[in-house]
Amino acid sequence: MEKNLFKYFILVLALFFEACANIVSPTGGPKDVSPPVVLKTIPANFSKEFKGKSVKIDFDEYVKIKDANSQLLVSPFMKELPDLKIKGRSIVMEFRDTLKPNTTYSVSFGKAITDNNEGNTLLNYRYVFSTGNEIDTLVKKGIVENAITLKPESGICVMLYNRIYDSVPYKEVPCYISKTDESGAFTFTNVKNGKYKLFALKDGNNNFMFDQSDEKIAFSDSLVTPEPDDIVKVDSSKKNKTDTTKINSLKKNKADSTKSDSLKKNKLIHLFLFQEVPVLQKVLKTSATRYGKVVLVFRKPVENVDLFPLTKNLLSPWNLQEMNDTKDTITLWLKNPDMDSLNIIISDNNKILDTARIALIKKNAKQLKNKNEELKTIALRAAVRDNGNFDFFSSFAIKSSSPISEFDFKKIILTENKDTIKAKYSFGDSIKRRIQIDYKWKEKTGYNLFIPPGTFKDIYNLTNDTLKMKFTTTSSSDYGNIKIAIKTADIIPDYIVQLVAESTDAVVREKFSKLNESIKFDNVPPGNYKIKIIYDKNNNKKWDTGNYLQKIQPEKIIYYPSTILVKSNWDIDLDWEITK
The answer, yes or no, to whether residue 490 has pLDDT greater than 80, is: no
Cα separation, 234 vs 97, whole angstroms: 29
**Domain assignment present for 22:** no
Domain end position, chosen among 307, 324, 359: 359
Are 214 and 197 within one domain?
yes
Question: What would the pLDDT profile of 350-363 be if each residue is shown by its tens digit?
Answer: 999 999 999 999 88
CATH number for the domain that contains residue 438 = 2.60.40.3710
DSSP 339: S
**Domain assignment present for 5:** no
Are 439 and 483 within one domain?
no
Cα separation, 382 vs 435, whole angstroms: 9
pLDDT at 232: 37
Are 556 and 570 within one domain?
yes
Q: Which residue has the higher pLDDT, 356 or 258?
A: 356
The answer, yes or no, to whether residue 432 has pLDDT greater than 80, is: yes
pLDDT at 212: 87
Are 302 and 199 within one domain?
no
Are 463 and 495 within one domain?
no
CATH number for the domain that contains residue 320 = 2.60.40
Are 107 and 71 within one domain?
yes
pLDDT-derived band of residue 161, with 50, 70 and 90 as boundaries? very high
Q: What are phi and psi of 341, to 5 degrees?
A: -155, 165
pLDDT at 27: 52
Least confident of 20-29, 89-98, 379-388, 416-425: 20-29
Contacts of 393 (CB under 8 A, 6+ apart): 441, 522, 523
Cβ atoms of 451 and 411 closer than 8 Å: yes
pLDDT at 79: 87
pLDDT-derived band of residue 125, with 50, 70 and 90 as boundaries? very high
Q: What are phi and psi of 319, to 5 degrees?
A: -155, 160
Question: What would the pLDDT profile of 312-321 be if each residue is shown by its tens digit?
Answer: 888 889 999 9
Cα separation, 531 vs 559, whole angstroms: 6
Domain end position, chosen among 212, 242, 275: 275
Cβ atoms of 501 and 419 closer than 8 Å: no
- Tell me the DSSP string of 558-571: EE-SS-EEE-TTEE
pLDDT at 487: 86
pLDDT at 366: 60
CATH number for the domain that contains residue 492 = 2.60.40.10
When divided into structural domains, the chain yields a total of: 4
pLDDT at 70: 86
The answer, yes or no, to whether residue 258 has pLDDT greater than 80, is: no
Are 175 and 225 within one domain?
yes
Question: What would the pLDDT profile of 517-569 be if each residue is shown by its tens digit?
Answer: 889 999 999 999 999 999 999 999 999 999 999 999 999 999 999 999 999 99
Question: What would the pLDDT profile of 38-79 be if each residue is shown by its tens digit?
Answer: 999 999 999 999 999 999 999 999 999 999 988 999 999 998
pLDDT at 391: 95
**Domain assignment present for 551:** yes
The answer, yes or no, to whether residue 233 has pLDDT greater than 50, is: no
pLDDT-derived band of residue 311, with 50, 70 and 90 as boundaries? confident
- Tell me the DSSP string of 490-526: ----EEEEEEEETTT--EEEEEEEETT-EEEEEEEPS
497 lies in which domain range? 479-578
Cβ atoms of 122 and 144 closer than 8 Å: no
